[in-house]
Amino acid sequence: MTATQPRSTTTTQPYSVEDWNSGYRSQPNEHDYWIADIEGNIPAELEGTLFRNGPGLLDIHGHPVKHPFDGDGMISSIAIQNGQAFFRNRFVRTEGYLAEQQAKKPLFRGVFGTQKPGGPLANAFDLKLKNIANTSIIYWADKLLALWEAAEPHRLDPATLDTLGLDYLNGLISPGGSFTAHPRIDPGHHGDRRLVGFSVKAGLSSTITVYELDTQGNALRQHSHTVPGFAFIHDFALTPNYAIFFQNPVSFGPIPFLLGFKGAAECISFNPKQPTKILIVPRNGDPMQVIDTDPCFVFHHANAFEQDGQIVVDSVCYDSFPSLDGSRDFREVDFDHVPAGQLWRFTVDLASSSSQVAKLVTRCVEFPSLHPDRQGRPYRHLFIGTAHGSEGNAPLQALLKLDTHTGDTQLWSAAPRGFMGEPLFVPRPGATGDDDGWVLVLMYNAERRCSDLVILDGNDITAGPVARLKLPHHVPYGLHGSFVDQYFGPRDGRGEA
Ligand code: CO
């Protein structure tokens, strides 16, 4: 244990706040290199490219962002082939990023509370959003797309990470439109894969539009559904026949935002006496069914599947919206006073319009990942980030493997000085079990103040990394990413980059 400054007198923390904070430094530099410092061996069968997105800048020329979700999107790629790996990172050249870097100061308000210099007067009634492209990245129909849920995707070159411009998904969305940061890939049957995504227009009532794209990127279906009240929906769950949305019981009081005192997301409040609404949208466009469940707040769903006329949804649930304390810098967050995510299982019965809830994992978890072929299907194994300790809220420092059939778990912890990002499960070629593969995690190593890509064997994560790729710099804590089977590194081999 090297915790240097415990913040709580009642528990011993497996980390120091200074270590945790040091992963929230801006990374203004862009790199291209073969990763030289590797502990262990990259599995020879592992080939493809890991793409990650997240805030690369936590300040704009010395003006700190108020919340990391307001930081400009930076893409990292690690291309893996023949046991070697090539790293590259680039900022998404959004209009706002380019303008602010030229002006050397913030020109836009952030959704999560970042304000332009000059106080409320300088911010009041400025409702322009900066499309910061910082939340996720997908590769679909030969397009690499950086996603931010309130605006259009940005398209990048998968080999160079150069920004090519805004992308409207072959005309599916209009200029000024938006597309979720959490589309899901339906593995389909007989090669019929589909990308399913959505957009939300939230207000006094909210309209959700569901989109389905074929492997060429063309729209197959599009249908809209309106619900009363404000809908803050970040993610959804997918089955072969349904798209499932959770309408969290929150309301939006925009006055402090309009007057320039707060960011839009700081004006959201949780209503603990109202139910969470499960919106079951048939993928064929039929009317949706709305089923109440216990009040909870969901950012991310792990998976869903249909079984015996019921729909099972596994989700990371918070007791309440982890509301943003406008007076605090996010670096000073007191984990003891913020709700922790837990894995809950909702079993929804369509015939009786009822739902049941059970807790699958009660320790603090976030960022679920599973075998891509099990998306929307019955599945056995889930990989998810977790805190080192089994109780309370804390930064993610460990990886949990859950056997949903038996309830058995495996744990690998990087505490006290390692901090986890989102794990991604990559199947071994020819794998049969849905844990037969590797788990890739870009994590922050506070001991080196640099990031490591760790590769674990999905069959037994307790054995620790089979390979640890040590980057000679840090990547600030990120959000989401994806693994693509194609290798997008240099073609001419090691040392010729
Ligand atoms: Co997310």
Is the pLDDT at 256 greater than 70? The verdict is: yes
CA of 487 to the centre of ligand 1 (A): 25
CA of 83 to the centre of ligand 1 (A): 30
Compute CA distances 11 → 6, 106, 317, 460, whole Å: 8, 39, 24, 30
Tokens of 377: 């299907």
CA of 13 to the centre of ligand 1 (A): 26
Question: Which pLDDT score is estimated for 263?
Answer: 86
CA of 152 to the centre of ligand 1 (A): 16
CA of 224 to the centre of ligand 1 (A): 22
**With bands split at pLDDT 50, 70 and 90, how would you rate the model's confidence at 224?**
very high
Tokens of 339: 């709700």
Is the pLDDT at 23 greater than 80? The verdict is: yes
CA of 149 to the centre of ligand 1 (A): 9
CA of 333 to the centre of ligand 1 (A): 20
Using a pLDDT cut of 70, give the percent of the chain over it: 95
Averaged pLDDT for residues 280-286 = 97
CA of 367 to the centre of ligand 1 (A): 8
Averaged pLDDT for residues 322-346 = 80
Is the pLDDT at 353 greater than 50? The verdict is: yes
CA of 477 to the centre of ligand 1 (A): 13
CA of 232 to the centre of ligand 1 (A): 12
Is the pLDDT at 329 greater than 90? The verdict is: no
Is residue 443 within 8 A of residue 456, CB to CB? The reply is no
Mean pLDDT of the chain: 93
Using a pLDDT cut of 90, give the percent of the chain over it: 80
Distance from C-alpha of 241 to C-alpha of 257, rounded to nearest angstrom: 39
CA of 50 to the centre of ligand 1 (A): 17
CA of 182 to the centre of ligand 1 (A): 6
Q: Kindly report the pTM of this predicted structure.
A: 0.95
CA of 216 to the centre of ligand 1 (A): 25
CA of 86 to the centre of ligand 1 (A): 26
CA of 300 to the centre of ligand 1 (A): 6
Question: Which pLDDT score is estimated for 443?
Answer: 98
The tens digit of pLDDT for each residue in 153-196 reads 999 999 999 999 999 999 999 999 999 999 999 999 666 899 99
Question: Which pLDDT score is estimated for 1?
Answer: 37
CA of 302 to the centre of ligand 1 (A): 11
CA of 372 to the centre of ligand 1 (A): 17
CA of 301 to the centre of ligand 1 (A): 9
CA of 235 to the centre of ligand 1 (A): 7
Question: Which pLDDT score is estimated for 11?
Answer: 52
**With bands split at pLDDT 50, 70 and 90, how would you rate the model's confidence at 6?**
very low
CA of 122 to the centre of ligand 1 (A): 31
Question: Which pLDDT score is estimated for 193?
Answer: 95
Distance from C-alpha of 73 to C-alpha of 475, rounded to nearest angstrom: 12
Question: Which pLDDT score is estimated for 258?
Answer: 84
Least confident of 30-44, 237-251, 264-278, 420-434: 264-278
